[in-house]
Amino acid sequence: MSGARFTPAQRRILVALATAVVAVFGLLGYTVYTTLQQPSLRPILPSATPVSISVLPSPTLAMTPTAPAAPPQPSPTPTSRPTPSTPLSQVQSARAVREVGRIVAEVRELPPVEQIPVTFPTEHEVAVSLLKTYQEDPPQVDLPLYAALGIIPQIDPLPLPDVTAQAQHISSLYLPAGRQILLVAGRGPANVEDEWALAHAMAHALQDQAFGLDGLTPCRPTTDAALALRALVEGDAVLTTARYAEMEGEEALERLGRMAADAEEPTYEPLAEVDLFQRLRAFPYVKGAKWAAALHKEGGWRAVDQAYGLVPCSTEQILHPERYLNREPPQIVTLLALTPTLGADWTLIREDTLGEWLLGLHLVAHLDDESRAWEAVEGWAGDLFALWQSEEEGKDLIVWRTLWDNRDEAEQFEQAYRLLVPRFHTPPLVVAENIYRLPGRLWEGQAGAAYVERTGRIVTVVWGPDVETVVAVARALP
CA angle 129, 280, 158 (to 5 degrees): 55
pLDDT at site 173 = 94
pLDDT at site 317 = 98
Strand-pairing partners, residue 173, are 182
pLDDT at site 478 = 87
Q: 300 — alpha (psi -120 to 50), left (phi > 0) or beta?
A: left
pLDDT at site 328 = 93
Sheet harboring 115-119: ordered strands across? 52-56, 115-119, 180-183, 172-175
Closest to 189 (Cα-Cα) out of 285, 291, 307, 103: 103
pLDDT at site 391 = 82
Which domains are seen in the chain, by residue range? 52-325 (no CATH), 339-476 (3.40.1000.70)
Closest to 51 (Cα-Cα) out of 105, 114, 116: 114
Strand-pairing partners, residue 347, are 389
pLDDT at site 12 = 53
Alpha-carbon distance of 66 to 59, in angstroms, equals: 20
Contact at 8 Å (CB) between 215 and 268? no
pTM above 0.85, yes or no: no
Alpha-carbon distance of 279 to 72, in angstroms, equals: 4
pLDDT at site 89 = 80
Alpha-carbon distance of 239 to 207, in angstroms, equals: 13
Q: What's the one-letter identity of residue 332? A: I
Contact at 8 Å (CB) between 373 and 382? no
pLDDT at site 393 = 75
Q: Other C-beta atoms within 10 Å of 415: how many? A: 13
Q: What is the pLDDT along the chain (478 residues), one digit of tens a residue?
A: 444 444 544 455 444 444 444 443 443 343 333 333 333 333 332 222 333 333 333 233 333 333 333 333 333 334 444 444 466 788 888 888 999 999 999 999 999 998 899 999 999 999 999 999 999 999 999 999 999 999 999 999 999 999 999 999 999 999 998 899 999 987 767 789 999 999 999 999 999 999 999 999 999 999 999 999 999 999 999 999 999 999 999 999 999 999 999 999 999 999 999 999 999 999 999 999 999 999 999 999 999 999 999 999 999 999 999 999 999 999 999 999 999 999 999 999 999 999 999 999 999 999 999 999 999 999 999 999 999 999 877 799 999 999 999 999 999 999 999 999 999 999 999 999 889 999 999 999 999 999 999 999 999 999 999 999 999 999 999 8
pLDDT at site 257 = 98
Closest to 149 (Cα-Cα) out of 421, 441, 359: 359
Full DSSP string of 109-129: TSPPPSEEEEE---HHHHHHH
